Structure 1
Amino acid sequence: MGDQGLILNISEASPKFFKGNNNCQQPKGKRQKRKNEDATEEPPSKRPARPTKVHAKDEPKKVQTGTNEDRPKGRPAIKTSSLFKNNPELPDIERSDVKQVQEKVFSSDSFSELGLHPHLVATLTNVLDMSRMTSVQKMTIPALLSGRDAMVRSQTGSGKTLAYGVPLVQGLQGVATKIQRSDGPYALILVPTRELALQSFTTIQKLLKPFTWIVPGVLMGGEKRKSEKARLRKGINILISTPGRLVDHIRSTKNMHFTHIRWLIVDEADRILDLGFEKDVTTILNAVNSQCEQRQNVLLSATLSQGVTRLADISLQNPITVTLAEENTTDMAPKVKSKVVQKEADTSGFAMPEKLRQHTVVVPSKLKLVTLSAFILGKWKSDPKPKMIVFFPSCELVEFHHRLLSNVLPIHGPRKDEAAFLRLHGNLQQE
């Protein structure tokens, strides 16, 4: 009995009993268990709290938009973007009553009926592929062949370049003393932009194909002045120029003279004035008047304004007025002032190309971008050969929309490696 009590006391003894007693060994099972408990035990303050288990019935319900009737069974509700909500009401746009005047663009008369040089008629037929005149050409060419000044009002794209180009070439090729290149300009044509200058130069150059002794030339911004001065020194008989560049050469080029001028033509006069070239045109008129007084003057415009009326008053003498939009007649009776000058600026009507269609969409400011993107994408998918020009009021907006639409809209050029979006603004290089 005494031995059994001794064994019982040893098994329940504290671990401290064996600490420092080398002769006594703790049982292996008890010692390992205690060691593991000491390793995992942490102070109560640092022990993380157990997460509270939340049952599904206690979870807060998600707020869903839409009614049960609108939403199909089993589908989540669709959230509508605030882009399409809370938009202001569209205001009513005041639109004045404008009378749209229709012009008959084409006529049934042929160039061969005008008594032109046979080579010129052949050039019109074979090179320019034109055998019949437009209405403005039918009325303007006989008037200019008579030697009178003319004020021509007609819509853009009606053939006004040939309306003055044909009588100009007809008159210069028939000059008694054959024109020499060294004589300088016999005709001066003012145009508002470099693009129109190149277009007019190409047309005049084709008309002069049988008359090689008459040399055309062009002056415009973006070109080297040194090369233009060299061409002026060699001689240009029909000079096509933008107002700003011509004034620059008048002031800085010694070879610039107008002693042989017989024609002064102002094409797209309304655009020239809109671009702010009124002072330059006045400078050119003073320079021409100081060197040559006897000449034939032609003013062409698509619209009439007070500026065009004033320009016609100071540059034309006893002019013939060709206005297709009013009475489709040419006033052949001589007058001190043309019928256009006697009128105030008539803005109650305008002429527009017959196949041109105009549409207006008024949207809130925050919907302009998405509306434009949808319109571009829709046109690109519906038209077989889509072409589009989008105008913005600043260079920064052009850069922003070009970068954005190029990366967002799934549109490519005719070939997969071509870009669909190109940019054009005044901060780019001329090339």
Structure 2
Amino acid sequence: MDGSGGLMLNIFASNKFKVPKPDNERNLRKCKWMSPRENDTAVEGSSRNRRNLKGTDSTENKGTLDGSEKKRARRDDKPGQTSQYGSGQVFSSLFRKNPDIPKLMASNVQQTKEDVFSIKFFKELNLHPFMISNLEKQMGFEHATSVQAKAIPVVMKGGDVLVKSQTGSGKTLAFSIPIIQSLQCAQPKVQRSDGVYAVILAPTRELALQSFETLQTLVKPFNWIVPGCITGGERKKSEKARLRKGVNVLVATPGRLVDHILNTSSLQFWKLRWLVLDEADRLLDMGFEKDVAAILNAINSQSEGCQRLLLSATLTQGVERLAGIALTNPTFIDVAKDEAVVLPSTKDQSNYIPEEELLSTKPPPVAEEEDFNFTIPDTLEQYYMIVPSKLRLVTLFALILSKSTRSSKTKMLIFLSNRDSVEFHYNLLNQMLCPGGKENANNTGLKIFRLHGSMEQKVRRDVYEEFQQKERVSCCVRYSPPWTVDLHLVVHEDVAARGLDLPDVDWIVQYNTPGTPAEYVHRVGRTARVGRLGHAVIFLGPSEAEYVKTLQGHKISVKAVDYNEILQTLVRHAPAELLTEEHFNGRPPKTMEEAATRLQKKLENYVHSESDHTKLAQQAYHSFIRAYATYPSSLKHIFHIKKLHLGHVAKSFGLREAPSKFKSQGPKLTATQKHALQQQRRGQTHGKGKKKRSDTSEFGSGLDGQLASPKAAKMTNQKRKMSKQRKNFGRIDGESLDVREVKGIGEQDRGSG
């Protein structure tokens, strides 16, 4: 250095800030002479740039920090919070720039209690000996539940009945036993050709199937009583054949029953004696108001003196208005309050029921439900977790793995807000937790199901039956430690949220928050049924913490769980193969942060490994945003889309890009398809700027790239040809005719015609 006049040779090597060895001289990128002070400045600047590169969060919105905040953020960066994995790939941190978790004060909420079991035996309820024997030997029931002990005698006396009881209390048997008991002793003896004596309306196909199976078991000693079931998705031709042969007790969904009322002449209600509206509040909020009105009017026109029963776990104002329209002086049974009173009727049942009157029975907004306190089973333990959006996905995996230890035999329902999210999480869970696919599911002991309203009826029935009959059996697999979990993903259409009795469900995970507290009650009601122990946990974002106070205002007590405790289980329970990284030479993670980071990277690598996986994640992201915008106005102060950090939300779907980089895009279109789509969009506006109603669901992703039908495209092409013909009209051999001559020709033609 002395001989160089105070200069030193500064060498920058590619990818290495070190002086290369002489044999690597060809790898040198740049060499120059500079003073020691210049060298120190250059090294400091290079180190700062490298730190900035590591601290880049690709899923966070740019321009949210000013200069001073950026410097402070760089100062606050800690080693290990960000990481860079080979090939210049930058992986953003999970534990930086997350919003603060609000601290909620513990509140002692006294939940409304309801005794599930009574001291009465079924033999004390004046039932047929064969009925009692069937209940004890075939169904395993000796004691009646509280709702059964109170409702069965009242229903058998006659008169309309309104029943309110908590979920999982045995309401199906409360109305099925009196119906079968009365039919088996009827004189003259009931025959199949007599037609329908009882109609049971259920809001979903799965609930209708469950009620039908219960009736099939009840009528085994009385084989001359024939139950039947008609639901959407089944072949109408075979249903018509069954109705022609004769069905005495008919279980149906509203839409399919209206279809048969209009188109099946053999379906008559002249001998109808019972009409049951099961899960009445669900019948209202699923859009069945018109169907229920049509059914009531058809029954009123043919049957006189029909006994009506209305059952629900939540008694909202909408249910009360429906009871005022459909019931006559009903006996109201509230099991929680241990009372049975007769309510005065406000409607003459012989009159026609306008659809508009029944449409007003929609459930009121949350603000009108403040006076309603819901009944929760005492054996249900309820928790909530406030989780930052970036950590939601790894926390879900950690929760599943924490319940899947050697001694655990777990069944779990996970509720999501839309079908695209169901498909995304179902594929991701299968790939990560059951890499061998369905063939390896039996070997690993892991079985994952999915269920949403867009699935075919046969597939939905197979899923329901398989999950219902699945025994919780733990088995040893190649993962360490051995674990097993039956996992069932359910969408916000809530086809499994009401009335279904799925046996031995241990955990309810509400990954996406429900709307009203009533919806929350029905979701958690899939566990802790008939006195069994159950658990429920709901995921909330930091901006959604106030929803806990909303639940507490309805006498629903939930306990806080720290998500860090759940993530800590990744170090203890996560399979080694799930967290193995070549970058660490097979070394297991030592900290919770390291384990979560490795898992998130593995999930993101899968999402970005193929374009189909990325597209599915983007669809789920867009559908989540659309579903989030549909919360009722009374909850907008809690669930508002402006409170979401869209970049962090994208991280929860395994996406690395900022949301602006994956806008909704459909498949590539041909010129004809583009023209047809443009014509279709132009036709969606008419009048003074009014838009036609879109057929796309509010929960859809908008990425399906649906095009106009071939018939519409053909019509558009014809219009285009006609337009060309109009332009060429009046041209003969390249010469233009006088407009007056063309007009004259037209007049002559009309005159001669």
The structural deviation recorded for 1:399 is 2.0
Partner residue, 2:430: 406
Instruction: State the Cα distance separating 1:233 from its structure 2 match.
Output: 0.3
CA contact (8 A) 2:332 2:343 kept: no
Once residues 224 and 131 of structure 1 are traced to their aligned partners in structure 2, the CA distance between those partners, rounded to angstroms, is 38
Aligned-pair CA distance for 1:134: 0.7
Contact 1:99 1:350 in 2 (8 A): no
**1:197 Cα deviation (Å)?**
1.1
Report the equivalent of 2:215: 204
- What is the aligned partner in structure 1 of residue 504 from structure 2? none
The match for 2:257 is 246
Deviation, 1:392, is 1.8
Q: Which residue of 2 aligns with 1:168?
A: 179
Please give the TM-score of this superposition, normalised by the length of structure 2: 0.45
Partner of 2:192: 181
Which string of whole-angstrom CA distances, capped at 9 and with x for unpartnered residues, describes residues 73-101 of structure 1? xxxx9421322111122457899997621
User: Secondary structure of the residue that 2:115 maps to in structure 1?
Assistant: coil
The match for 2:388 among 351, 360, 364 is 364
Shift of 1:347: 4.1
Task: Find 1:426's aligned residue among 442, 453, 460.
Answer: 453
The residue correspondences of 1:11-410 to structure 2 (distance < 5 A) are: 78-81=79-82, 82-90=93-101, 100-326=111-337, 328-331=338-341, 335-336=344-345, 347-381=371-405, 384-409=408-433
Alignment partners' CA distance in 1, 2:238 and 2:383: 46
Q: Distance in 2 between matches of 1:314 and 1:226?
A: 33
**Which deviations, in whole Å up to 9, do the C-alpha atoms of 1:333-371 show, x marking residues without a partner?**
574469xx9xx9674311112211221112222221122
Following superposition, the deviation at residue 225 of structure 1 comes to: 0.5
How far 1:309 sits from its partner (Å)? 0.8
Higher mean C-alpha displacement, 161-170 vs 400-409: 400-409
Q: In the TM superposition, what whole-angstrom CA distance separates every residue of 1:350-406 from its partner, at most 9, and x where no partner exists?
A: 111221122111222222112212222222237611222222212222222222233
Query: In 2 relative to 1, CA 132–420 (structure 1 residues): closer, same or farther, beyond 3 Å?
Result: closer
Give SS of 1:389's match.
Answer: strand
Cα shift at 1:155: 0.9
Q: Flag as ranges the 4+ runs of structure 1 deviating above 6 A.
A: 48-54, 92-98, 410-414
Structure 1 residue 135: Cα displacement: 0.7
Deviates further, 261-270 or 367-376: 367-376
Q: TM-score, normalised by structure 1?
A: 0.76
Matches within 5 A, 1:2-17: none
Residues 171 and 132 of structure 1: CA distance in aligned 2, closer, same or farther (over 3 Å):
same
Q: Percent identity?
A: 48
Distance in 2 (CA, whole Å) between partners of 1:212 and 1:249 is: 25
Q: Would the aligned equivalents of 1:411 and 1:420 in 2 still touch at CA under 8 Å?
A: no
Query: Could you say which structure has the higher helix fraction?
Result: 2
Residues 44-78 of structure 1 show CA distances to partners (whole Å, capped at 9, x for unaligned) of xxxx9997799xx999589699xxxxxxxxxxx94
Cα offsets for 1:162-193 (capped at 9, x unmatched): 11111111111222222221111011111111
**Cα displacement (A) at 1:139:** 0.6
| Whole-Å separation in 2 of the counterparts to 1:381 and 1:347 | 42
Q: Please name the residue that 2:635 is paired with.
A: none
Residue identity matched to 2:194: D
Unaligned 5+ runs, structure 2: 1-24, 52-77, 83-92, 348-360, 362-367, 460-753
Take 1:169 and 1:321, find their aligned partners in 2: how far apart are those partners? Answer: 22
Single out whichever of 84-93 and 187-196 deviates more from structure 2.
84-93
The CA deviation at 1:194 is 1.3
Q: 2:81 is aligned with what amino acid?
A: T
| CA deviation profile, 1:282-313 (whole Å, cap 9, x unmatched) | 11000000000211111110001122111111
* Equivalent pair of 1:263/1:297 in contact (CA under 8 Å): yes
Deviation, structure 1 residue 213: 1.4
1:36 maps to none
Per the TM alignment, residue 128 of structure 1 is displaced from its structure 2 partner at its CA by 1.6
2:69 alignment partner in structure 1: none
Shift of 1:419: 5.0
Deviation at 1:411, TM superposition (A): 8.0
- The match for 1:19 is none
- Aligned pair count? 365
Task: Rate the CA distance shift 1:98–1:151 in 2: closer, same or farther, 3 A.
Answer: farther
For the residue of structure 1 that corresponds to 2:209, the secondary structure is helix
Q: CA deviation at 1:223?
A: 0.9
Q: Retained in 1: the 8 A contact 2:325–2:346?
A: no
- Kept after mapping to 2: 8 A contact 1:269/1:301: yes
Distance 1:84 1:352, change over 3 A: same
CA distance in 1, matches of 2:27, 2:381: 73
CA contact (8 A) 2:162 2:331 kept: yes
Query: C-alpha displacement at 1:219, in angstroms?
Result: 0.7
Assess if the C-alpha contact under 8 Å between 2:202 and 2:208 holds in 1. yes
Q: Which runs of 5+ in 1 are unaligned?
A: 1-47, 66-76
Could you tell me which amino acid in structure 1 is paired with residue 267 of structure 2? Answer: M
